[in-house]
């Protein structure tokens, strides 16, 4: 009986260890926190000359299509800071800026909105809006 209990406990520990490894340690690292306070957000959009805010959600299929485009822009435009705001995790910001559809891109220049885009954009469309940053 004691041997069976030890095998059972040992089996549970192995299963938990594997799950922890798969779901805990193997998560992709992001360059910004998942949740940002409204004060921190406003500080970010005012602290850099150009900031592109990308409002998105994990359930939004169009946002998923935009993700590689945003990553490409981030690599190509070194002077542009990109803030990814997940509307589910940052409800205070989403409510403050009245984000009712996704995706939304807002370009800030010294804290002032330069342009806003609702919906999907191709890479070339987005680059044409950012031509002055090269």
* Catalytic member of 36, 45, 53, 63: 63
Per the listing, tokens 């891109």 go with 105
C-alpha span between 73 and 63 (Å, rounded)? 15
- How far, in Å, are 17, 18, 20, 41, 123 from residue 24 at the CA level? 10, 10, 5, 27, 33
Q: Of the listed 40, 42, 60, 117, which one is catalytic?
A: 60
Instruction: Count Cβ atoms within 10 A of the Cβ of residue 77 and give its class: 0-12 exposed, 13-18 middle, 19 or more buried.
Output: middle
Using CB atoms within 10 A of its CB, is residue 45 exposed (0-12), middle (13-18) or buried (19+)?
Answer: buried
Q: Residue 65 catalytic?
A: no
Q: Is 15 a catalytic residue?
A: no
Catalytic residues: 60, 63
């Amino acid at each position: 009986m004691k041997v069976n209990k030890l095998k059972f406990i040992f089996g549970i520990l192995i299963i938990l260890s594997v799950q922890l490894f798969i779901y805990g340690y193997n998560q992709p690292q992001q360059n910004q926190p998942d949740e940002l306070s409204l004060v921190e957000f406003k500080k970010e959009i005012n602290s850099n000359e150009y900031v592109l805010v990308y409002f998105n959600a994990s359930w939004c299929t169009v946002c998923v299509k935009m993700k590689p485009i945003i990553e490409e822009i981030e690599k190509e435009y070194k002077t542009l800071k990109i803030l990814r705001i997940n509307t589910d995790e940052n409800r205070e910001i989403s409510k403050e800026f009245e984000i009712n559809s996704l995706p939304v891109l807002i370009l800030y220049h010294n804290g002032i909105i330069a342009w806003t885009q609702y919906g999907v954009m191709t890479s070339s469309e987005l680059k044409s809006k950012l031509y002055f940053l090269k």
